[in-house]
Amino acid sequence: MSVDGEDVQTSTGITIPTFAISSSDESIDVIIICGGWNSERYENADLNSWLHHMGRRGTRLGAVETGAYILAKTGLLSGYSATIHWHCHTAFKESYPDIDFRDALVVRDRQRITCAGGTACLDMMLQEIEFEHGKALAGEVADQLVYFPVRKANAPQKNLQDRNHSFAPPAIQKAIDLMGRNIEKPLTIPELSQRLGFSQRKLERLFRKNFECSAVAFYRVLRLQEARVLLTHTDMSVLDICIACGFASSSYFSKSYTNQFGVRPRDHRSSWPENEPAPLWPGMTTSCLNLPEP
C-alpha cells in the first residue's frame, strides 16, 4: 500500500505497484512501514491520520529499518520499546527520548513491532509466524529458507567479535568497541591501551597493520561518522553535534569534517538530501582505510 496508490520506486530502482491506503480493508491485522532513503524527514498528514485510525481499531503497527522514524513521528511509538537500523541508533534516541530504544534485531511491545531491517526482516517474519502459529511451523519455514541458526529477537544488531575475526584480531575489535562507547568524551590512546591491557605501541601497530592509519586517526573518523549521522537524522545544532562527538573546537571539527567528507558540516545539512545523487548511509568504518595522517 501507499498513500496515493501509485507505483513506488525503491532506492535500488525496483518499481512496486501499490493500492491506496484509502481503499484498504479496515480489518487489516498488521501494518508494517518500510522505510529507507530520507525516512527521517518524511511527513504526510493523510498517512498519519490513517495510522492513528488503524491503531485505534486495534491493528498492530510496525516498521522496518528507518520506517521507525515515520512511526515515531506520528507519536505512535511514544511509551513503547522499539529498534531501528544500527547506523542511526544515536540520532533516533536523541530525536525521540520518549521511546524506549533497544539495540535488537526485532522488538515487539504490545501492539507495536519494529525491526532493524536487512536480514532481520527474516527474524521478524519467523517471530510473527511463531507468535501466530507456533514454534514448529516457524522452524519448518526457517528450514525451507535454509536459515539456521534462527537468531533471537533480542540479539544485538552488530556482533563485532564474530563478524570481524576474518580481517582483524579480537584485540583491535575491543579497541574499536571502546572507541564507539566513548564518542562524546574520547579516551586518550594511553587510556585505551591501559583498559585493553597492552602497550600503546602494540595498539598503534595493530591499527597500522589492519587499517593503514593510526589509532588517533581511526578514532577521529569514527567520531566524524557519528557527526554525519546526527547531521543527517537530527535537528541538533552544528555546535551541539561538535560537542556530542568529542570535539573541543568547532573550527577543528569543521576542518576535520570537510577533509573527511568533502563538505562542511553546515553545507552537508543544507544540501541533504536534494543534492545527493544516491543514498549514502552514514556510520560505516571502511572509509578509515588509507586515511592520510593529520
**pLDDT, tens digit, for every residue of 250-271?**
999 999 999 988 889 988 877 6
Q: Quick one: pLDDT at residue 289? A: 46
Residue with cell 507505483: 7
Q: Which of 156-160, 169-173, 212-216 has the lowest mean pLDDT?
A: 156-160
User: Of 20-29, 64-73, 273-282, 283-292, which has the strongest mean pLDDT?
Assistant: 64-73
Orientation angle between helical segments 215-233 and 250-261, nearest 10 degrees:
90
pLDDT tens digits for range 210-242: 888 899 999 999 999 889 888 888 889 999 999
pLDDT at 133: 93
Distance CA 189, CA 194 (A): 9
pLDDT band at 159 (very low <50, low <70, confident <90, very high): low
Q: What does the block give as the cell for 44?
A: 504526510
User: 3-class DSSP state for residue 30?
Assistant: strand
Q: Which domains does the chain have, with CATH numbers?
A: 8-144 (3.40.50.880), 160-288 (1.10.10.60)
Mean pLDDT of 36-52: 88
Q: For residue 7, which phi and psi values (nearest 5 degrees)?
A: -65, 140
Q: Name the pTM for this structure.
A: 0.75
For every residue of 167-204, DSSP letters joined together read TS-HHHHHHHHHHHT-SSSPPPHHHHHHHHTS-HHHHH
| Each residue's pLDDT tens digit, 90-143 | 889 989 999 999 999 999 999 999 999 988 999 999 988 998 899 999 999 999
> What's the mean per-residue pLDDT of the chain?
85
